[in-house]
Amino acid sequence: MQKSIAVRNAQNDAIESAIGASAVLKIRSGAAPASCAAADTGTVVATMLLPADWMANSAGGVKGLQGTWQDSAADAANAGGACHWRIYASDGVTCHLQGTVSVNGGGGELQLDNLNIAAGQQVTVGSFNITASGA
């Protein structure tokens, strides 16, 4: 199925609306759960309280992060590298999105400048995009 850019942009913008303002991002160790409905897995390495308006308006079928996504002091060390992320509603419990983590330029949906995180280290997301299918 192919979709117009207007439909793809509307799909992307609906994701942020459904999750709501001030979402919570948790970067975790280990393998991601089978789905967002499954229980959390791994250790929380970093927690970020995202801006109230945490995604830019979708353009060209792509929606990118807005504002600064940062944890000033990581929750735990993960010498094996950050492995997956989950975005929750503002309650920090209701998971709505999850995916892979990579170093900047590495192809993960969420990209960091450093995957080997030390407890207390500042963690900043360099890139996060949602691309609607159907181009």
Domain segments of the chain: what residues? Answer: 5-33+40-131
Q: 16-29 pLDDT, tens per residue?
A: 999 999 999 999 99
Distances (CA, A) of 43 to 29, 87, 96: 5, 15, 18
**Contact in structure between 112 and 77 (CB atoms under 8 Å):** no
- Averaged pLDDT, groups of 10, the chain, 135 residues long: 96 97 95 96 94 96 95 86 91 96 90 90 94 88
pTM (predicted TM-score): 0.93
Residue among 50, 8, 2, 48 nearest 28 (CA)? 48
Q: 24-53 pLDDT, tens per residue?
A: 999 999 899 999 999 999 999 999 999 999
